[in-house]
Amino acid sequence: MILIKKRVCPAIACFFLSATAVCPPVWSGDAAAEKPDMAKNLARFIDQQLEKRQQLELEGVKPANIADDATFLRRVSLDIAGRIPTISEVRDFLDDESPKKREVAVNRLLTSSGYSNHFARLFQKAFLPEQNDQFRFNAAYPSFFVWLRGHVEKNTPYDKLAYEMLTASTDSEEFNQFDFQDGPVTTASAQAFFVTREVDPARVATATARSLLGVRLDCAQCHDDPFNAWEQEQFWGFAAFFDDLDINIPNRPPVENAVVKGSIKIPETSITVRARFLNEPKAAEPEQGTYRQHLAEWVTSPENPYFAKMAVNRIWAHFFGYGLVEPLDDFSESNSPSHPEILDRLAAAFVESNFDLQFLIRTMTATKAYQRSSRLDSLQEIPVDLFAKTAVRQLSAEQMWASLGRAIGYARPLAFHEANAMQNGDVAEFLQSFQKASSLEDAEATILQALRLMNGDVTNRSSSATGEDGAVGGNQQTAMAVNPVFEPLVLTSLATFPGMDNKDRIEALFLATLSRTPTKAESKKLTKYIGETGDKTEQAQRLGDVLWALLNSAEFRFNH
Amino acid sequence: MNLRLARRTNRRDWLRATGLGLGAFSASGWMETLSRLAAAETSAPGRKKRSCILLWMAGGPSQIETFDPKLNHENGAGVKPISTSATGIQISEYLPKLATVADDLTIIRSMKTNEGDHARASYHLRTGYKQNPALEYPTLGSILSRELGSETSAIPDFVSIAPNRDLNRGAFGPGFLGPKYAPFVVEANGGIARVQQQNESEDDQEQTPNLRVSNIDRPDDISNQQADARLEILSGLNDEFLKARPDRILNSYRSSYDRALRLMNSEARKAFDLDAEPDEIKEAYGRNEFGMGCLMARRLVEQGVSFVEVSLNGVRGDDFATWDSHGNHLDNIQQLCRVLDPAYAALIGDLKQRGLLESTLVIWMGEFGRTPKINDNDGRDHFPAAWSTVLAGAGVQGGQVVGKTSADGMEVTDRPVSVGDLMSTVCQAMQLDPTKQNMSNIGRPIRLADPEGQAISGILTDANG
């Protein structure tokens, strides 16, 4: 039998007590029609809370203004669909005079294929953060991605998605049938959550607690965790729920601590503990179903406050660049949220909306805070967690790739195996060199990225103009034969399109890359640069120089 | 206490104190800086700090055919030990040139680890920690170059030559230290050295293998004038954007372009250009990817680069041979040693002659050794229980052997050395405190080397110096 320690740490005692803020009424069909209003009201509440704090702490500095339309469209396209808008999307949006156009744009983006891909990647990074590790698990990732993407597309309630993942089959026959990287992937499976952790109960338990609850059990695996008051027995009690993991994967190391019917032996000890939820002193006894299903119900329950809060915080960090709790998956007591009232209210509304991710997205993008400019009138330093200006953020590698594709006129979709970043080749190398740091504070722009954008194929081939007869230079010919991605499509068509003058061409390049029209000064200066020569080929090449500079500019490189 | 620890102690206060703008700047000066950098020549850096060259033998090289021969046992497979320049130390007959510089080597014959899987063992040896899904440990090059590198050096502080990262990418990356500490990669056929085939005349072979540094050169068809015009347009675009945004990432963006331009225009970048080396030097190292990689490593260290790794996992000649010699063992190992021996020996000799060996640690290792008993395919399998690594330079007393294995090579009989022990020793040789902590991605401080390890005593002349 297990011993229950007398000392119950405060963190555990209040694990569910703080759930009082979350009272989920059933979301009826009629109420669904009220969701847009609910999103707006909630957005207003968020702004009020943020502004209250800003007034207290900003000492006279004014929060940034609301961003102009072009800036908003670029930002929201990157955040929702993972890429910058096209020239025509920008023009249509700027011409639209409807006061509701920002909301309409959000709804349109939520139906795009970019959205399902981008958010599938977001969740893949959340659930499989160690994603580019080992060759032998290559086949598991694409299926996981396909599985996630299907759910994002259908807007599956988040609790259902998590439940399905935690209770996924770990049948080895299924694993062996996974598609390998060549050709389209059709299998949709959440097995990777277990397979890439070598179906080890301890590792799966750690990942579950961290990615779904923001609870870090890592330290408690080996010893009682003095910082977070998790005890080693609690950890193993949690791991004991994964008692039915059964899969034959290549080279799996022997798991010393096999789990039998909801109990597990702590390695290098003689102690056996029974499955028990983190906050419960008593061993769990599922009345029906497996231990794993029992755990999945507990994790995704509306009464589990950490589940909704963790999800809300992840989405918040995605849109604002910085979590209400940061690091975004560390909900320990010593790491309090910057705005608990916002977190509580958002989590409650998320539960009430039946875990509707799109509801969260509509709410957050409707806030003034999200729509603020990244510009301040002065170079005043202000704390990032006041959300008084939009933080300038790195693009993820995939955002960078997709945006470059749009800007240069060749939007080559990424194959699944490329998204996996385990491959060799130009595209994979490109993606690897633009890997994004996991937090704003750790973000770095690197020398390798600068060299790649200044001297690499993508920028140079796309900004290398053809001659008047359409013939390309020798260097370029080779590059194009090797990789047609780098054809200077935008540039060639701009340089030869009838009825355009140099001013129009500059404007088109700005719209294609920075998603805005040039300022008067920019337009004047660059039109002059191009017009200084009368030679048509030289003019086309100078247009290419402008494109090169735009692609290297900070304004293109970042989400702002 | 470092900044990141301070942040952890009181994260939000720290954020308030520093705000978003860790160092506001004047944007207007950027173009000036760029042009100045483009024109300026970085003077050769003074050699104050230590450097490290890792010769990474991916696949797991056999200890018996290299540094721990077994003369009087069937497990020795008949490979003869030969005497070396170090009195009383014998190594395998396959390494005759290396035998002449053995007085500079410290051979550790008592590596005792417990991982026999390539991917996991590579991770352990290359980061110093066992793989843990919650934590992304940085590879040795990232750890050391972060400590020893300089923000102002023209060449990146961590250069990786010919890596083959497919087996376990995590073992080759900067992990929680972030992309700033990622390696600058020189491509050279993925760690496979191409050597002359029997039916091939010298003329058929490329004279010097192509070690490719990506994107360091401006494309040929861009003139100086055009390049200047491009930079000027870029600078104009950026000035407007940067001046009203104090975000820290934008400082990092600016400095990345500064450093990239400095590298492109520096004298130091000639370290990547092997054409400057006389033929006899190239011959001495061996005209193959590994030999030329070792030569490039020496040139980079001369320029003050903190960490260079050169990978050798196979040889392609008449056959394809790898360290992972599960079959046809002796033939595999002989082919690899014919590439390894001249390059390694030339590197040690060359560094010494130039006075660089005393400040440069050269590590030779793979992820594990090979089974002493020959298997049914005339091969040797993975063996972590008793195997060899070698250190040289940077205050490591040469001409000695650490530890001992049994006559059959099956077990360590004296001074077992763990991965943590090895990493602590490496840190000490680099004049770093192995217990120094960096903040990890899960907010847990991680020491440079696993604290369970202890530096091997008595092999450093200036420990803690």
Residue B82: pLDDT above 70?
yes
What residue of B is the nearest CA neighbor of A202? B133
| Range B406-422 average pLDDT | 97
Nearest to B237 among A207, A541, A555 (CB): A555
Q: How much is the pLDDT for A292?
A: 93
Of B205, B351, B192, which is closest to residue B285 (Cα–Cα)?
Answer: B351
What amino acid is encoded at B422 in this protein? L
Of B80, B62, B56, B87, which is closest to residue B401 (Cα–Cα)?
Answer: B87
Query: CA A487 to CA A468: how far, in whole Å?
Result: 16
A134 to B166: CB separation less than 8 angstroms, yes or no: no
Q: What are A422's two structure tokens?
A: 């385990």
Which residues of chain A lie closer than 8 angstroms to B30, CB-CB? none
Sign of the dihedral through C-alpha A53, A58, A59, A60 = negative
Residue A263 DSSP symbol: E
Burial B4-43 (b: 16+ CB within 10 A, else e): beebbeebeebbbebbbbeeebebeebbebbeebbeeebe
The answer, for A211 touching chain B at a CB cutoff of 8 Å, is no
Which residues of chain A lie closer than 8 angstroms to B305, CB-CB? none
Q: What are B444's two structure tokens?
A: 């847990």
Interface of B with A in 60-119 (CB under 8 A): 117, 119
Which residues of chain B lie closer than 8 angstroms to A251, CB-CB? 117, 119
Q: How much is the pLDDT for B191?
A: 85
3-state secondary structure at position B25: coil
Task: Count CA atoms closer than 13 A to A515's CA, side-chain side.
Answer: 28
Nearest to B250 among A376, A392, A449 (CB): A392
Q: How much is the pLDDT for A348?
A: 96
Query: CA B379 to CA B381: how far, in whole Å?
Result: 7
Q: Summarize pLDDT for B107-126 with one digit per residue, the tens.
A: 999 999 999 999 899 999 99
Distance from CA of A23 to the nearest CA of B (A): 30
What amino acid is encoded at B210 in this protein? N
Query: CA B127 to CA B139: how far, in whole Å?
Result: 4
- Could you list the pLDDT tens digit for every one of the 560 residues in chain A? 333 332 333 333 334 434 333 433 434 445 555 777 899 999 999 999 999 999 998 877 889 999 999 999 999 999 999 999 999 999 999 999 999 999 999 999 999 999 999 999 999 989 988 655 556 677 778 889 999 999 999 999 999 999 999 999 887 666 666 655 455 566 888 988 998 888 888 889 999 999 999 998 876 776 676 556 678 888 999 999 998 776 665 555 555 555 567 888 888 888 888 999 987 888 888 888 899 999 999 999 999 979 999 999 999 999 999 999 998 999 988 889 999 999 999 999 999 999 999 999 999 999 999 999 999 876 667 889 999 999 999 999 899 989 998 888 765 556 554 444 445 566 777 877 888 777 777 778 888 899 999 998 888 877 876 544 444 444 444 444 444 445 666 777 777 777 889 999 999 999 999 999 999 999 999 999 999 988 888 898 999 999 999 999 999 999 99
Query: CA A81 to CA A114: how far, in whole Å?
Result: 4
Element (H, E) at A398: helix A397-408
Of B56, B204, B35, which is closest to residue B118 (Cα–Cα)?
Answer: B56
Q: What are A34's two structure tokens?
A: 């009220």
Distance from CA of B260 to the nearest CA of A (A): 5
The answer, for A541 touching chain B at a CB cutoff of 8 Å, is yes
* CB burial of residue A326 (10 Å; 0-12, 13-18, 19+): buried
Task: Count CA atoms closer than 13 A to A87's CA, side-chain side.
Answer: 17
Query: Mutation test of the interface with chain A: which of B135, B230, B239, B452, choosing the one with the most A Cβ atoms within 10 A?
Result: B230
Which residues of chain A lie closer than 8 angstroms to B34, CB-CB? none
**Are B158 and B183 within 8 A, CB to CB?**
yes
Beta strands in B3-98 (DSSP E): 51-56, 81-83, 90-92
Query: Mutation test of the interface with chain B: which of A216, A451, A517, choosing the one with the most B Cβ atoms within 10 A?
Result: A451
Nearest to B215 among A455, A473, A550 (CB): A455
The answer, for B24 touching chain A at a CB cutoff of 8 Å, is yes
Which residues of chain A lie closer than 8 angstroms to B242, CB-CB? 554
* CB burial of residue A128 (10 Å; 0-12, 13-18, 19+): buried
Query: CA A104 to CA B315: how far, in whole Å?
Result: 60
Query: CA A472 to CA A515: how far, in whole Å?
Result: 28
Mean pLDDT rounded to a whole number for chain B:
85
CB atoms within 10 A of CB B105: 29
Chain A and chain B share a number of CB contacts under 8 A equal to: 213
Residue B185 DSSP symbol: E
Candidate ranges A276-280, A516-520, B37-41, B444-448; pick with highest mean pLDDT: A516-520
Quote the radius of gyration of chain A (alpha carbons, Å).
26
Interface of B with A in 399-458 (CB under 8 A): 441-444
Q: How much is the pLDDT for A361?
A: 98
Nearest to A447 among B16, B221, B259 (CB): B259
DSSP code string of B309-345: EEE--EEESSSEEES--SSSHHHHHHHHHHHHHHHHH
> Helices A536-552 and A397-408 sit at what angle, rounded to 10 degrees?
160
Query: CA B60 to CA B414: how far, in whole Å?
Result: 22
